[in-house]
Each structure stands twice: as C-alpha cells, then as structure tokens.
Amino acid sequence: MTVSGKESIKNLLGQIPFTAELYWLVRQRGKPIQSRFSLKHLQAAMPELWQQTQKLHANAKPGRNVFIFATLHYWIEHATLVGMALAAQGHKVTLGYLPFAEWQSEINRFDLRRQNAYAAKVLSQAAPFVEAVSFLPSRKNYKPLPDSIRHLVELVSEYDTQYTLQMEDIDRDSDVYKLRYERNQDAARMALSYLQANRPDVVIVPNGTIQELGVVYRTARFLKIPVVTYEFGDQRQRIWLAQNGEVMRQETDGLWRARQDLPLTEAQFDRLRNLFVARQRATLVENFARLWQDTPARGGAQARSELGLDDRPVVLLATNVLGDSLTLGRQVFSKSMAEWITRTVQYFFERPDVQLVVRIHPGEVLTHGVSMADVVRNVSPKLPEHIRLIGPKDPVNTYDLVEVADLGLVYTTTVGLEMAMSGVPVIVAGQTHYRGRGFTIDPDSWVNYFKLMGSLLENPESHRLERSQVERAWQYAYRFFFEFPRPFPWHLVRMWDDYKNRDLQAVLSPEGLATYDSTFRYLVGEPLDWKNVSE
C-alpha cells in the first residue's frame, strides 16, 4: 500500500470515535508512537515532582485560577513543570495543550489522536494539581469566529509562514500558510469557547507571537483576560516576561521608566564591560550560553586592511536573521526588512563618496530561507567597489567593523545598541526595544530616513554621540542584559538538567524563594515591580 493510501485510511479511521485511542492502548501499551512527540522526561520526573507538589501544596494558601497553554512536546513539558510549581504554591492550575510534534508538517487525524491519548495519559499523572485539557477541535466548536479574531488568526498565520519559510513575502495559497491557518483557526475556536466558559484570573502562554501560542495569547487579550507571555534567551537561569504583551517584542518601557535615572555603579560598568569584551573576543561569560561571533576581534585596523577600506566614511549595515521572532511585524516605514535593505543599497549605489559594509548576521549559517546576502545581490549581481558584502561564514568579527564605522544602520539587531555604546551614530529602521531611548536616530518615513542619512554623511565625525548619549546607551544595555531577564530555575533548553540541580523542593524553599519568588508572582499576574528588581 502506498504512503498516501495509508494516510487516507488513517484519516478515515481518525474520524471514527475511539479507534485511535484503542489502538494506542492495545498495540502500543501507552507508549509514544515513535514520533518526535515524546514526554518521556516529564513522565520520568513526575513521581518525584508529584510528591514534592503534594507536600508543598498542603501548607500553601489558596491562590489564583491560572490557565497555561502549550503546544509541541518541549513546551508542554516545560508548561507542566511551571504548572506544578504554581500548584505547589496554592494556585488552581489548568493546562490546555495541543499534541503536535511539528508546527509545519501535516499529520493524519488517526496519529494525532494517538498522540493526544499518549499526552493525556502522561499529563493525567499531574492531577489533581494540574488539570490537563486537550485543545484538539471537536465538531461542537466549529462556530464562526468574530471578524476581529479571524483577522488575528490571519496575522499569526502570516507570521508562522514567514517564520517557517524564513521569507517575508508569503503566498496565502501556499501549503504552509493553509496548514497554519487551519490549525490557528481551530486553536482560536477552542480558546474562545474554553476561556469564555472557564474564565481564569490569568492566562500564561510561552512566546505569544507565533503558532497556536500566538493565537491563544491574542484570544485571551480579545476577552480582556490578563495574559503573561514568557520566553528564554541565551542566559541560563533567566526568563523573559511580558504582561499583556508579546514577550518577543522585548518591551522595556516600564523597566526604563523606573530605572533610567539610576546611574550605574562601577561594579555594574565592569560587569557590562566584561560582557561586551566577551562578545568581541568570541568567548563565554557568566551565565551566557551562546557565542555571538565565530572569529575573535583582531582590531579595526586589521579589518580595514583586509577589506580594502580607505579613508572615505564607512557605513555599517547589520542585518537580522530573516524569520526570527524578533523581526516579525517590526516594520516602521518599510514594508519589510528586505525592502529596507534593498532601497538602502540602491541609495549607496549613487554614493561612491561613502563605503557601505553590509554585515550578514552570522546566525544565518543555521537557517534555510532567503539570505539577506541574496537580497543585496538582487540589487545588482556585481557590487561596485565601495560596497562590501560580508557573508555569515566570512571570518570577520562584527565588532572590528563597529570600530571603523562612522554610521550604523540597523533594523532590530542588538548590534545597533552596541554601536551606540561605542559612540557610533545609529539609524534604526525597525521597531526594536532600544528605539527612542535617547541614543539612536529613529526615522518614521522613507523621506525622513534618507534625509537624515544624507545629513549625517555630510560630516560623520561631527555626529559622533555625545558622552551623555554613550553613557545612556551603556545604562540601557545594563538594564536590558542584566535586569530585564528575571531569575528562573528551569531554562527551556536542558530543563531537566536544570531540574536535577534545582528540584521543586529546593526552588520553593526559603532559600530558593529568596531568588525566584518574585518571578513566580509575576507569572501569575502580579504587576512587575521594575523599581525594586534584583539582579
């Protein structure tokens, strides 16, 4: 029988009640169906986790009614762990879940129901502390969506398609968009129905921008239910939080309002300086688990010599990775990041008096979509001598380029912040978290963009940032890197190693709560207190 024939039969069987569940029980004896959807680590940890939750819950005061939503096995495991921690503190926790192993691939109804049965079995072990509710759609939930929700589903589906294909111009007739729209629409129906009937005090959702996670976040906001979104960066034992916002937008307004007038201590300057030096030297520092460069810095003079740069002003354009959650929906005056790059390169074609260096993000080596290098080459297959293109694999350290730059151009990359820390004037074209903080140039239209750029290039040296602006950039960088991420015991990556080192009992002990208590309170909706944050 052909694969398509098997899939057709499975889709048919998937419509018959109890067939998939019985098959899973009899043939697979409660085990995973040999797919990427595995909750084995959660299952192994659950007996101890349950016992510790029971012990702690017995002495906890009643808390809030909390609803957590997750899809994909790793987020489900993490959300369950978070849910048990909240239940141990007295909160009433419900976990809504979708048993998908992949967000971009089709799965027949029969296998999906088998995965659902498996997930339900594993998650039932969290009862009575965490009640698991499957969000697989049923016929009774197939009601028309309000137009406002439908538009949100379309938006998230566009983000999903951009994220999956790593391209900005998407086709709504593509298979990926159709798949994402169908799943997001189902999630919206389930979320709307469930949250209207079981209105919680707070909804907790990982990410909150893409996939069904983004749909549930937006549905809760539509219903005016408080929502907390969370994600993880490259720091161990740290979590990003946003209340009634998408955490991937990294909105730091509240933090900056509360702490912008607090001068940095010498110890804080040293700590940030060590981070900056580590980035330059391509080494690790503190609890950061990622290298930002493959090539250590060798100095601006060396970079200038190797790239053949002369005495003409140097403009550094640093790109983002296309499709990253940090770039989705960040347009200010351009239709897309690609359009911004295209029109900028076209502008410099007519400016041989200036040298443009386009630095493609090193992270592109891990992607499969459209490269920003291709966007540049599409302007012209042969670039003029005053435009240099640095590919993601080229052995060039970005910070050497910062050293020689007279002007920086960025979309949302953090390199823009770091250029400002070095005194380089920076024009920000996208909606990034450090835009409008007093040390960047923030045009809101194409006319303004090109006018500002032309003015700056008349005499770049006269536009170097003032000392007060550089200090402000350093102060903001410290707040962003060290205060915006809150202490949290279990990072999504290597969460079970983290749990072995810091189990529930240790985290919720008086010593553990001295570090993590405020984060747990923020997770269930207590307003973030940026005035009194600890590092």
Q: Judge whether 133 lies within some domain.
A: no
Q: Are residues 328 and 420 in the same domain?
A: yes
Cα–Cα distance for residue pair 522/229, rounded to 1 Å: 10
Q: Judge whether 378 lies within some domain.
A: yes
Q: Judge whether 159 lies within some domain.
A: yes
Q: Are residues 219 and 272 in the same domain?
A: no
Q: Judge whether 303 lies within some domain.
A: yes
Q: Are residues 269 and 180 in the same domain?
A: no
Q: Are residues 295 and 196 in the same domain?
A: no
Structural domain tally of the chain? Answer: 2
Domain end marker among 483, 506, 529: 483
Q: Are residues 343 and 466 in the same domain?
A: yes
Domain end marker among 442, 468, 483: 483
pLDDT per residue over 310-338, tens digit each? 999 999 999 998 767 778 889 999 999 99
The answer to whether 405 touches 316, Cβ cutoff 8 Å, is: yes
What per-residue confidence (pLDDT) applies to 288? 46
Other Cβ atoms within 10 Å of 457 Cβ, number: 17
Please indicate whether residue 260 or residue 369 has the higher confidence score (pLDDT). Answer: 260
Q: Are residues 415 and 473 in the same domain?
A: yes
Q: CA dihedral in degrees (44, 45, 51, 52; nearest 10)?
A: 170
Q: Are residues 469 and 354 in the same domain?
A: yes
Which two three-digit tokens encode residue 280? 């330059």
Here the CATH number for the domain that contains residue 393 is: 3.40.50.2000
Q: Are residues 283 and 407 in the same domain?
A: yes
Reported confidence tier of residue 11, pLDDT bands at 50, 70, 90: low
Q: Are residues 181 and 270 in the same domain?
A: no
Place of tokens 């060290």: 482
Q: Are residues 476 and 365 in the same domain?
A: yes
Q: Are residues 147 and 196 in the same domain?
A: yes
Given a cut of 70, whether residue 382 has pLDDT beyond it is yes
Backbone angles phi, psi at 133, to 5 degrees: -130, 120
Reported confidence tier of residue 397, pLDDT bands at 50, 70, 90: confident
The answer to whether 327 touches 209, Cβ cutoff 8 Å, is: no
The answer to whether 420 touches 465, Cβ cutoff 8 Å, is: yes
Q: Rounded to two decimals, what is the model's pTM?
A: 0.90
Residue 454 class from Cβ within 10 Å (0-12 exposed, 13-18 middle, 19+ buried)?
A: exposed
Cα–Cα distance for residue pair 68/440, rounded to 1 Å: 38
- Mean pLDDT, range 489-510, rounded to an integer: 96
Q: Judge whether 520 lies within some domain.
A: no
What per-residue confidence (pLDDT) applies to 7? 57
Domain end marker among 461, 483, 505: 483
What per-residue confidence (pLDDT) applies to 289? 47
What per-residue confidence (pLDDT) applies to 88? 98
Question: Which of 2-11, 167-176, 359-368, 448-457 is the least confident region?
Answer: 2-11
Q: Judge whether 81 lies within some domain.
A: no
pLDDT per residue over 264-306, tens digit each? 999 999 999 988 888 777 664 555 444 445 566 678 888 898 8
Q: Judge whether 395 lies within some domain.
A: yes
Question: Which of 41-45, 140-144, 349-353 is the least confident region?
Answer: 140-144
Residue 427 β-bridge partners: 409, 441
What per-residue confidence (pLDDT) applies to 373? 86
Q: Sheet holding 92-98: strands in order across? A: 130-134, 92-98, 65-71, 202-206, 227-231, 238-243, 486-487
Pick from 414, 160, 202, 123: nearest CA to 293 = 414
Cα–Cα distance for residue pair 110/28, rounded to 1 Å: 14
Q: Judge whether 50 lies within some domain.
A: no
Domain with 154 in it:
139-201+209-224
Q: What is the DSSP letter of 493?
A: T
